[in-house]
Structure 1
Amino acid sequence: MSNRMGMLVTGAFDWTDVEFDLSNVNFVTDRDAGERWLSAPRPVCPGRFSDGNEVYVVTRYDAVRSLFTDRRVSNHPPEGVHLDSMRRRGVPEELLKYFDSTIMTMVPEDHRRVRSLIDRAFSARRVRTLRPRIERLVDDLLDQMDATGEVDLVAEYAHPISTTIICELLGVDDEYRDRWLRWTEAFTTFVRPDPVMLPPALRGMVDTVIRLIGARRAQPGDDLISDLVKASDETEKLDEVELVALVLVLVQAGLDTVRHSISLSLFHLLVHPDQLELVRSQPENTVQAVRELMRYAGPIKMALPRFAVEPIEVDGVTIPEGGQIQLVVGAANNDPQRFTDPRTLDVTRVDNPQLSFAAGDHFCPGASLATAETEIALNKLFARFPGVRLTGDPDEVGPRFLKAVAHLPVRLV
């Protein structure tokens, strides 16, 4: 039979009966279905992505890690595949160019060219210089909280931390910040986006970035957008479409992923009081705890789709040239063949090469910053309010498989 890319599928799967169907909203939100995925039933499974494409779902740790760095696997889709996927998801035709060739889907030589421009902005040294600003922001947010009433740690804590830091780093003006959350939520969904909400959200994002680039070109500042504009104008390392696409990716990832990292970490510590006590009593080990929280319940359950540039055999299954590959980071991070007792949260775990930030050339450039923001958020909250407790039913508040914590109601004292 032929797949949706017009190539012959030689794998041994019956694509009429996929095991993991991300185009089905029930699968995406069902906790039991998510647990079945995390149990890694076999190394490679048939699946369907949210845009309807058939995919080879890879779940075991060794295979996922290997494919992250395998040169026979590319983030760059075969000609036309990504454009067709974007159209099916409802991206307006005039905006396709900004979402088709981003840093996450470029050919390797273009990826290296663009990646070199942002690595310094997210270096360990740069993160160290940002720590005092993150600490002041977190202190200010804690000062503003009503210690006598109920507090939503997502809206009043995780969201303003992630939004403020990434927007200040990039140079996104205050007037635009509150809009990004609505736009991002309309776009970053694992099922088909709302056809009414998506086009205006994408237009708002693109128009805002174009406006910001114009403002920084006219009056440069001490921010990443200004640096990228300079690189684009003086060194020609970026064309204008690449520049817009890169800023879009950086804002979206820095805002959405970090917000979920903080809120998920808070939730799982609040429902594991023994682990919370270890974090509270040993703040010097919180970075190690954050790594374990990312392994146990990080927000990135799946990597972006990859594509085989030549046939690849994975545990006896041949993925054909052009075959779409879905690496399931959440399953790899919970693989019992790699982690002892993986479904137990253990913030003292030392042997922890988790893959939440990917590996290889596409290792997340913002990993150090995300870790620092989460570490500071945890340490300062639990030091200021050691008696903080969840007020909602954990089963109701807690995340579904591919959905983060929307609200985190707590009492601080």
Structure 2
Amino acid sequence: MSTTTPSQQPLVDPAELIADPDSDPHSVYARLREAGPVHRITGTDGLPAWLVTRYDDVRQALADPRLSLDKRNAKPGGYHGLSLPPALDANLLNMDPPDHTRIRRLVSQAFTPRRVALLREPIRETAESLLDAIEPLGRADLIASYAAPLPITVICGLLGVAPHDRPDFRSWTDALTAPDPERPQQAKDAVRALLGFFTRLIADKRAAPAEDLLSGLIAVRDDEDRLSEDELMSLAFLILIAGYENTVHLIGNAVLSLLGHPDQLAALRADPGLLSGAVEELARYDGPVPLAVRRFPTEDVTIGGVTVPAGETVLPCLASAHRDPRRFTEPDRLDLGRDARGHLALGHGIHYCLGAPLARMETEIALAALLDRFPGLTLDLPPEGPHWRPSMRSRGLRALPVTF
């Protein structure tokens, strides 16, 4: 990815974010942020976009109604994103009001605080069970054995997916979120498999409703309004992808950050009451989503003093906003005592993450169980340090080797 200022003068080449995922992205974002609030870039798809780097501008962009999520507002020949069939594409990340308002209202009736609260004990039991399995080994890859299986179990339980189908869900999701460039057909096969699976699952839930979220989404209605088949399918797909991938990386990155800052880990062990606030700071410090969902101006808009033409792609950079010293004092320092409220890791405005309470609860439970079980938990990284997945879309570890 290459970048220029609005005047098209070369500024910095952050291609290492993809070519070398193990390089430090925060230093790249810092150079961009200090050079200017908005930068014209050429993304990994070879098409131009505008990267927004400073906290205030990113926050405003996330809530600006002139910045549309609807791909139909992209200019002709512009944005090329993941190609999904209509039955998976009709989701909240591609919608503006009034469609977004209608769908979110219906979903909120089924995805209630009570339903989330009922998951607390099953999440704790799943976490303890996963730790039981690795405890005799004395070492583990916490991504493969803990951070990944915990969210997929939670999401599948939420949707009402039978245990024997859950390994398939994980492999399909991994194929979409971290596609193998050597096997481009893999992602297409995963989309086809997910579409077929959700078609069968929704039919089963219609015939025999249960106490799961998917049954609730099928049943929910507002007067005569209800979710269409494509909307149900797309919502199930979004809940699976967002609820799995983001939580895996939030847990994994949080554990890495804590083990890399022994003073902060010691403070948390000494005062478990810090945990709730610690999750907010950990999400700010090294969150799972570097870039918010792309937006398309419905008219020419000015962001940070830079005019962005209608229809062009805008990328609000959450990772850069979270390290902006204009908003957070000493932003490159992990401080579990910091008031990190106002971070944007879970969104802002009308597109704020519906699953935010669940993601927070999962992460809190996962960290509490892990730290309580293994007081001697230690990183077991190779000499070159942690290895990150090659993605601009997500910030996540390939593996997290530890001993205990």
How far apart are the structure 2 equivalents of 1:274 and 1:78? 49
In structure 2, give the amino acid aligned to 1:52.
G
How far apart are the structure 1 equivalents of 2:51 and 2:165? 38
1:341 is displaced (CA, Å) by: 0.4
1:326 is displaced (CA, Å) by: 0.3
In structure 2, give the amino acid aligned to 1:74.
S
Would the aligned equivalents of 2:88 and 2:233 in 1 still touch at CA under 8 Å?
no
**2:218 alignment counterpart:** 229
**1:64 alignment counterpart:** 58
From the superposition, tell whether residues 161 and 33 of structure 1 become closer, same or farther in structure 2 (CA, over 3 Å). closer
Find the partner of 1:391 among 380, 391, 397.
380
How far apart are the structure 2 equivalents of 1:102 and 1:84? 21
Matched, 1:316 2:321: no
Would the aligned equivalents of 1:23 and 1:51 in 2 still touch at CA under 8 Å?
no
From the superposition, tell whether residues 166 and 33 of structure 1 become closer, same or farther in structure 2 (CA, over 3 Å). closer
**1:186 alignment counterpart:** 175
Matched, 1:350 2:343: no
Matched, 1:258 2:247: yes
Find the partner of 2:273 among 280, 284, 288.
284
Structure 2 residue matching 1:326: 3-state secondary structure = strand
Aligned residues: 395
Structure 1 residue matching 2:296: 3-state secondary structure = strand
Matched, 1:139 2:123: no
Structure 1 residue matching 2:363: 3-state secondary structure = helix
Percent identical residues: 35
1:315 is displaced (CA, Å) by: 2.1
Moved more, 290-299 or 273-282: 273-282
Would the aligned equivalents of 1:270 and 1:276 in 2 still touch at CA under 8 Å?
yes
**1:168 alignment counterpart:** 157
Would the aligned equivalents of 1:294 and 1:356 in 2 still touch at CA under 8 Å?
yes
Would the aligned equivalents of 1:280 and 1:379 in 2 still touch at CA under 8 Å?
no
With normalisation by structure 1, the TM-score equals 0.87
Would the aligned equivalents of 2:75 and 2:310 in 1 still touch at CA under 8 Å?
no
**1:45 alignment counterpart:** 39
Matched, 1:25 2:14: no
Cα deviations by residue, 1:270-329 (Å, 9 ceiling, x for unpaired): 111111111222112201001000000010111010111111112221011212110000
From the superposition, tell whether residues 20 and 215 of structure 1 become closer, same or farther in structure 2 (CA, over 3 Å). farther
**1:405 alignment counterpart:** 397
Find the partner of 1:368 among 335, 357, 363.
357
Unaligned runs of 5+ in 1: 1-10
Would the aligned equivalents of 2:110 and 2:220 in 1 still touch at CA under 8 Å?
no
Moved more, 138-147 or 280-289: 138-147
How far apart are the structure 1 equivalents of 2:148 and 2:362? 11
Find the partner of 1:36 among 28, 34, 38.
28
In structure 2, give the amino acid aligned to 1:329.
L
Alignment root-mean-square deviation, CA: 2.8
Would the aligned equivalents of 1:60 and 1:332 in 2 still touch at CA under 8 Å?
yes
Matched, 1:304 2:293: yes
Would the aligned equivalents of 2:92 and 2:103 in 1 still touch at CA under 8 Å?
yes
How far apart are the structure 2 equivalents of 1:102 and 1:297? 27
Cα deviations by residue, 1:135-182 (Å, 9 ceiling, x for unpaired): 122122222223443212111111121011111111122222112222
Unaligned runs of 5+ in 2: none
Structure 1 residue matching 2:220: 3-state secondary structure = helix
How far apart are the structure 2 equivalents of 1:296 and 1:74? 28
From the superposition, tell whether residues 298 and 351 of structure 1 become closer, same or farther in structure 2 (CA, over 3 Å). closer
Cα deviations by residue, 1:31-60 (Å, 9 ceiling, x for unpaired): 245521245232001113343331111010
